[in-house]
Amino acid sequence: MQGSFEYFLDQLINGTTLGAVYGLIAIGYTLVYGIIGMINFAHGEIFMIGAFISIICFLILGAAGITWIPLALLIVLIMTMLFTAIYGWTLERVAYRPLRGTPRLAALITAIGMSIFLQNYVQLLQSARNKPMQPVFSGGIELMQSNDYIVSLSYLQMFIMSLTLVLMIVFSLVIARTSLGRAQRACEQDRGMASLLGINVDRTISLTFVMGAMLASVAGLIFLLNYGVIDFFIGFLAGVKAFTAAVLGGIGSLPGAMLGGLLIGLIEAFWSGYFTVEYKDVAAFGILVLVLIFRPTGLLGKPDIEKV
């Protein structure tokens, strides 16, 4: 069975679903790095907070009697993105903006400190116990069947893939065709010159953190729907893997972040399916090392040009 095409297709679907989560988080890393050259190691905790806000919203809607799934999902999606965006904005305003212009090591230490702070903050508010949730989606479409093995695409997986695709298109259009996107690209090239040209650099960086937090919140919602259980520590490992995805795809490249996320998800799924699940993380990081040996800028990254 494990050598059949049906099993391969099943793992491909699972890996794509997992990769969507990593890709959405990785975009937040790559957006922030592209503009201010800093790795926001607290970004994984923003993803975790998004998952907690999602489960709280589901509980409130259930208590209010709103049980129609499309309406409930829309409300939860909007509220999760809104509240998590506030966390992202506050994180930049309180922790990172005062350190702008200081050595990068100070910002790096602050990012790690904020990651630990947010973990413990959620643990104190929500306790360390796992938070389970009943499945929201059920059913799916049967793609093929061989002997007793059935390959199906669940409605949840279709929702995750569709939502990820729509968000990627929307955010790519925002960066490519709006004034905010032009300001972000200008700040990425030269913040000093962008400021001289009348661009509000502080506001542009804050909005970049907000955009990254919104995408991470959607990843948190997807994680909750897919696995049905969360805790205060889920952001650490997911954040490390999403950072790995961003580096693998090419840090600073939006398509690269999504590609890296999909590759990490596929590597984990296929390794778990064909080999042993205990070493799936080793496989993912091993592929990263190999790629960086032969292509140090990542798959879609561009080499930095030193300004003189």
Q: So what's the pLDDT on residue 308?
A: 47
Q: What is the CA radius of gyration of the chain?
A: 20
Q: So what's the pLDDT on residue 21?
A: 93
The candidate with the shortest Cα–Cα distance to 242, out of 42, 104, 68, 71, is 42
Q: So what's the pLDDT on residue 305?
A: 58
pTM: 0.92
The structural domains of the chain, with segments of one domain joined by +, span 16-138+153-234
The candidate with the shortest Cα–Cα distance to 45, out of 210, 209, 235, is 235
Residue with tokens 């960066």: 175
CA distance 72 to 43: 26
The 3 state secondary structure assigned to 54-115 is HHHHHHHHHHHCCCCHHHHHHHHHHHHHHHHHHHHHHHHHHHHHHHCCCCHHHHHHHHHHHH
Cβ atoms of 50 and 220 closer than 8 Å: yes
CA distance 286 to 1: 27
- Helix, strand, or coil here: 230? strand
pLDDT digits (tens), the chain, 308 positions:
444 888 899 999 999 999 999 999 999 999 888 888 888 999 999 999 999 999 999 999 999 999 899 999 999 999 999 999 999 999 999 999 998 888 888 988 999 999 999 999 999 999 989 999 988 888 889 888 777 788 889 999 999 999 999 998 998 899 889 999 999 999 988 889 999 999 999 999 999 999 999 999 999 999 999 999 999 999 998 999 999 999 999 888 888 999 999 999 999 999 998 888 888 888 888 988 888 898 888 888 877 655 54
CA distance 84 to 45: 10
